[in-house]
Structure 1
Amino acid sequence: MGRLYRAFRIAWIIVRYRLDVLIPVERLPAPLAFLLKINPIRLFPLGHYTRGERLRLSLEELGPIFVKFGQMLSTRRDLLPDDVANELKRLQDQVPPFPAALAKTTIEKSLGMPVSEAFAEFGSEALASASVAQVHPARLHTGEEVVVKVIRPGISRIIRKDVQLLYMLAYLVLKLVPDSRRLHPVEVVADYEISLMDELDMQKEAANTSQLKRNFLNSALLYVPVIHWPFTRKNVMVQERIYGVPVADVDQLRRDGVNMKKLAERGVEIFFTQVFRDNFFHADMHPGNIFVDTSKPESPRYIAIDCGIVGSLSIEDQNYLARNLLAFFKQDYYEVARLHIESGWVGEETRANEFAAAIRAVCEPIFEKPLKDISFGQVLLGLFQTARRFNMEVQPQLVLLQKTLLNIEGLGRQLYPELDLWTTAKPFLENWMKQRVGPRGILLKAKEKLPDWLEQIPELPQLAHESLTQLRSWEESQREQRQLLREMRQEMARSRQRNGQVLLGLLLMLAGLAGGVGEHLAPLLHEEWIPWALAGAGLLVLVRR
């Protein structure tokens, strides 16, 4: 019943904000365009909203899952008109806040103490408000400036309902569109559910933040604020307050004299460092979560917050991804095809040369071009067509990574449209591969394994004895099996010989008896005793057998 109500609510919001006006009717086939023009939704008034406001307000009403979708879209100004992108940008940290009294109640219940006892100062007005939580300024009794992040009351129940609706849609798609199986819609929703549930746990976000800070300790690329663990619970997190320019405020960054080219390149470097060096990446890198320290304009440093969603890959996926990207950068499409087949991302029956030709046709036009000149819409369309042709399957474990790549590409386009993504990323990946499979990488792996090897050395004699014992047992078993096989062959040979004797005896008896009782056969054999002799011989053969 809850899912049905939610589905009706979504339909009502679509009608209320007249989202049908966002559909480009002129681009639709004639029958669909006609149906859209006569649909009953058009009976409702348009109101005074702009198209960007319609979309933003509807996403806000629909809830956190839809707000996050809008956040991702806001970074793709190459896909959206400026007026729509500017409105969606407000979803990054300007979602309507919930009352401060509710925030204080949640804090006091979680910490088990009054707000005045936990903090010397607490700001009732929220600094920022997002889909899942909002942030209030505060000061500890020790004098440190902090921010207090509080989960929205009742948000868990809303998210669970939306996730159930997504599952329903995923199963519906599977039934109606058999070809969608390769997209693994149910598995993708399951991964998304895990990420959302993790984001509702402030202790997990605090742990992720601490891990990311350790990975970039004293780094010139990225700064991560300090977590104050004594005041952190499941619904509340307290961390160091940071000051920086929002990464989306390009005008302010330019006024501060920031080297935009270097800033864009460092964003790419941070992403690849997280994915390949640390195998632990911030997977919610929309502009609302990224700030810039402009104190050194020629050497700008990023500041990352909101680590509720993080990702990691298996060693196999990490290696395949790096080798695939390098093959793309080198325009070695056959190697890309071979790696996809080897990894199981496409079926084993796929012909590598045909797959390589299809990838070449899609990707060749985008190489050696700045981001501003690349039509990602056409590239994505071509890749989807290729995927359908070769039954390429969506890898659920890579969905977070793909989402993060979209965010990074969108940020790069905003900061420095001339950024050459390929030239920036290729040296990093080449160096990483050398460290993994080169002499230095082998030595480092040996050094890492050395303690384990030293620990196992005392056990080697026992292991060798057990191996020799198992080998002897195996050899004895093999001898017994060979002897049994020989006996079986001998028995089969004797059985064939006995069967031949039986057949011969029966034939002789039948011939003799037929000759003995027949009226015409005995004269042909000239002697009457011969048939009876044949019958007797046959009987003798049977008896001797």
Structure 2
Amino acid sequence: MIRAARNLSRLWTIARVLARHDALDVVDLPIATLAARLLRLGQPPIHDGRPGQRLAAALTELGPTFIKLGQALSTRADLLGEEMAADLSDLQDRLAPFPSHEARAIIAEELAMPVEEAFSHFDDTPVAAASIAQVHFAVTKDGHDVAVKVLRPGIDQAFKKDIDLLRWLAEWVELTQPRLRRLRMVESVETFEESVVLEMDLRFEAAAAAELSENFQGDDTFQVPEVDWTRTGKRVLTLERVYGIPVDEREQIAAAGINLDEVLKKAAESFFNMVFRDGFFHADMHPGNLFVDRDGNLVAVDFGIMGRVDQRTRRFLGEMLLGFLNGNYRRVAEIHFEAGFVPADKNVDTFTQACRSIAEPIMGKPMHEISIARLLGQLFQITEQFAMQTQPQLLMLQKSMLVAEGVGRRLDSSVNMWEMARPLIESWMIDNLGPQARVKETVVGAVHALERLPRMLAETEKAYTAMLNGGLKLHPDTMSAMRGEGGRRRGAPGWLPWVLAAVLAALLVLK
């Protein structure tokens, strides 16, 4: 009861903010427009523009958790539509800075030493302030220029309250709207919570930076600032200071004598390597987080939001993109069924037709206008028709590709960045999708099966010994189910578990 009252009170505040910005219609209910007018007490909205722009302004006013929520929703073109998702992608994660004396106190507590002892110089004016943390430039005692990221005070408690509200709403939606359960809203809230909790522990960001740096070790075209682990803790992260030109400052890059096409090629290749070679990618690589150094190499910052794609999904994704590029829409459809993205009871021919309908308008354009990210976005929008379950890792990847393509267009709108990375893409496809790769996969699978065999035999031996020494022990709940107690599911005969148990016993005796 207390939880419901607390959440309803917070929900009332949120509704009023959404109404003031004329963003309540995102709820998509018939009474939304009338409710907005009532909540505004007849006053006109304070913001105009497209629905996504109004929603972005409202989320900014609601604070850090909802800014992060807006950034997460920007990956859900399947829910909001492309235009609104694109508007939320432009949501600026900027808030007023908190006082420097609070930043100093957090640093001193986290590092167990005064700021003056950790740094020879500390700039009290932050260079950037966002929803989770703010950044100060400093110089270490040994003369290294660093950037010090300090967690915003009280952010963890505020986030816990807001995430409890979001989970409560998701639970009610899944309870009252069965048709929306395929969207797995509770799971999506939990995934969102996990990502932000990790982002609020700056040690995880430091670890992500170190892992990304290892992945590109020996490759100077993409660099990651070094972590100062001695000055890093849960609420403080110290990184090597980056000097460079923001990647979207085209004129400055050209004026520095750096070849724009080379920068674009390095961006395409580094992103491809992150996703397909390593399965670990920077998921927030907007122009503010990517710089070009004086040698024309890329330097990334801000590793709070990272994405992972497992080997199996990478192979499916590679085959799917290859099918789209070759116009083999049947194969694209089959891959979705093989991966389990589309339920087996759906019609593969109809899904093939759907894939063609979204791909032809995009793939038929000139090469420099083709957007792979837009292609994936269109694909996600047909999820409801085919009861496709949400794939969070692919949604994050699609958004990251969209951001990368935006960077590419700013550098040179006449060039397709994926075309520049074609040699790398083709090499990866040969190594991972060719005949030799399939033979290797089969051999590895067989080896893993053989490795599991001794353990399976040992478990069988253990069960056989248990049978000889008095029988197998079953959990009380299992016994109740076998006796037909506890609300047995309709259609499952009560004698069936006994038959299965008898078959198991026979197999063990015959061993």
What's the TM-score, normalizing by structure 1? 0.71
Counterpart among 303, 313, 320 of residue 316 in structure 2: 320
Are 1:411 and 2:407 an aligned pair?
A: yes
Aligned equivalent of 1:355? 351
Aligned equivalent of 2:238? 238
Q: CA deviation at 1:380?
A: 7.5
Q: Take 1:285 and 1:424, find their aligned partners in 2: how far apart are those partners?
A: 19
Are 1:113 and 2:113 an aligned pair?
A: yes
Cα distance, 1:33–1:189 mapped onto 2, change above 3 Å: closer
Aligned equivalent of 1:533? none
Query: Which has the larger displacement, 268-277 or 226-235?
Result: 268-277
Q: Take 2:309 and 2:393, find their aligned partners in 1: how far apart are those partners?
A: 7
Aligned equivalent of 1:337? 333
TM-superposition CA deviations, 1:288-327 (whole Å, max 9, x none)? 222222x23xxx3221111122222232222212211211
TM-superposition CA deviations, 1:447-485 (whole Å, max 9, x none)? 999xx99xx9xxx9x99x99xx99xxxxxxx9xx89x99
Q: Take 2:107 and 2:408, find their aligned partners in 1: how far apart are those partners?
A: 38
User: 1:94-105 counterparts in 2 under 5 A?
Assistant: 94-105=94-105
Aligned equivalent of 2:198? 198
Aligned equivalent of 1:303? 299
User: 1:219-298 counterparts in 2 under 5 A?
Assistant: 219-293=219-293, 295-296=294-295
Aligned equivalent of 1:44? 43
Larger helix share, 1 or 2: 1
Contact 1:265 1:424 in 2 (8 A): yes
Aligned equivalent of 2:207? 207
Aligned equivalent of 2:394? 398
Q: Take 1:197 and 1:72, find their aligned partners in 2: how far apart are those partners?
A: 14
Cα distance, 1:376–1:242 mapped onto 2, change above 3 Å: closer
SS of equivalent residue, structure 1 residue 105: helix
* One-letter amino acid of the counterpart of residue 164, structure 2: Q
TM-superposition CA deviations, 1:364-421 (whole Å, max 9, x none)? 1101535885699996885456322221221234333233233223333333333425
Cα distance, 1:407–1:5 mapped onto 2, change above 3 Å: farther
* One-letter amino acid of the counterpart of residue 157, structure 2: R
* One-letter amino acid of the counterpart of residue 268, structure 2: V
Q: Take 2:215 and 2:374, find their aligned partners in 1: how far apart are those partners?
A: 37
SS of equivalent residue, structure 1 residue 4: helix
Aligned equivalent of 2:138? 138
Contact 1:79 1:377 in 2 (8 A): no
Cα distance, 1:397–1:159 mapped onto 2, change above 3 Å: same
Cα distance, 1:399–1:2 mapped onto 2, change above 3 Å: farther
Are 1:5 and 2:9 an aligned pair?
A: yes
* One-letter amino acid of the counterpart of residue 6, structure 2: G
Contact 2:132 2:152 in 1 (8 A): yes
Cα distance, 1:42–1:424 mapped onto 2, change above 3 Å: farther
Are 1:58 and 2:21 an aligned pair?
A: no
| Percentage of matched positions with identical amino acids | 38
* One-letter amino acid of the counterpart of residue 15, structure 2: A
Aligned equivalent of 1:123? 123
Contact 1:195 1:309 in 2 (8 A): yes
SS of equivalent residue, structure 2 residue 398: helix
User: 1:380-529 counterparts in 2 under 5 A?
Assistant: 383=379, 386-420=382-416, 423-424=419-420, 426-436=422-432, 438=434
Cα distance, 1:162–1:384 mapped onto 2, change above 3 Å: same
Q: Take 2:12 and 2:36, find their aligned partners in 1: how far apart are those partners?
A: 22
User: 1:119-198 counterparts in 2 under 5 A?
Assistant: 119-198=119-198
* One-letter amino acid of the counterpart of residue 16, structure 2: W
Q: CA deviation at 1:44?
A: 2.7
Contact 1:187 1:396 in 2 (8 A): no
SS of equivalent residue, structure 2 residue 384: helix
Contact 1:368 1:422 in 2 (8 A): no
SS of equivalent residue, structure 1 residue 387: coil
User: 1:21-40 counterparts in 2 under 5 A?
Assistant: 35=34
Query: Which has the larger displacement, 311-320 or 423-432?
Result: 423-432
Aligned equivalent of 1:520? none
User: 1:81-96 counterparts in 2 under 5 A?
Assistant: 88=90, 91-92=92-93, 94-96=94-96
* One-letter amino acid of the counterpart of residue 14, structure 1: L
TM-superposition CA deviations, 1:1-58 (whole Å, max 9, x none)? 432232122123224xx3118979xxx99x8898589655272355699989976653
Counterpart among 11, 14, 18 of residue 14 in structure 1: 18
SS of equivalent residue, structure 1 residue 43: coil
Query: Which has the larger displacement, 257-266 or 304-313?
Result: 257-266
Q: Take 2:85 and 2:65, find their aligned partners in 1: how far apart are those partners?
A: 22
* One-letter amino acid of the counterpart of residue 180, structure 1: L
Q: CA deviation at 1:234?
A: 0.8
SS of equivalent residue, structure 2 residue 150: strand
SS of equivalent residue, structure 1 residue 217: coil
Contact 1:366 1:374 in 2 (8 A): yes
Q: Take 2:12 and 2:32, find their aligned partners in 1: how far apart are those partners?
A: 24
Q: Take 2:260 and 2:422, find their aligned partners in 1: how far apart are those partners?
A: 20
Listed as ranges, the gaps of 5+ residues in structure 2 are 463-502
Cα distance, 1:440–1:144 mapped onto 2, change above 3 Å: farther
Aligned equivalent of 1:541? none
Q: Take 2:278 and 2:376, find their aligned partners in 1: how far apart are those partners?
A: 28
Contact 1:322 1:429 in 2 (8 A): no
TM-superposition CA deviations, 1:485-529 (whole Å, max 9, x none)? 9xxxxxxxxxxxxxxxxxxxxxxxxxxxxxxxxxxxxxxxxxxxx
Contact 1:134 1:151 in 2 (8 A): yes
Q: Take 1:347 and 1:447, find their aligned partners in 2: how far apart are those partners?
A: 29
SS of equivalent residue, structure 1 residue 120: strand
* One-letter amino acid of the counterpart of residue 148, structure 2: V
Cα distance, 1:253–1:22 mapped onto 2, change above 3 Å: farther
Q: Take 1:48 and 1:275, find their aligned partners in 2: how far apart are those partners?
A: 39
Q: CA deviation at 1:99?
A: 0.6
Cα distance, 1:448–1:338 mapped onto 2, change above 3 Å: closer
Cα distance, 1:418–1:188 mapped onto 2, change above 3 Å: farther
Contact 2:123 2:138 in 1 (8 A): yes
Query: Which has the larger displacement, 423-432 or 146-155?
Result: 423-432
* One-letter amino acid of the counterpart of residue 3, structure 1: N
Query: Which has the larger displacement, 172-181 or 207-216?
Result: 172-181
Cα distance, 1:125–1:447 mapped onto 2, change above 3 Å: farther
Q: CA deviation at 1:220?
A: 3.3
Q: CA deviation at 1:194?
A: 1.1
Query: Which has the larger displacement, 4-13 or 217-226?
Result: 4-13
* One-letter amino acid of the counterpart of residue 9, structure 1: T
* One-letter amino acid of the counterpart of residue 18, structure 2: I
Contact 2:21 2:47 in 1 (8 A): no
* One-letter amino acid of the counterpart of residue 405, structure 1: M
Structure number with larger C-alpha Rg: 1
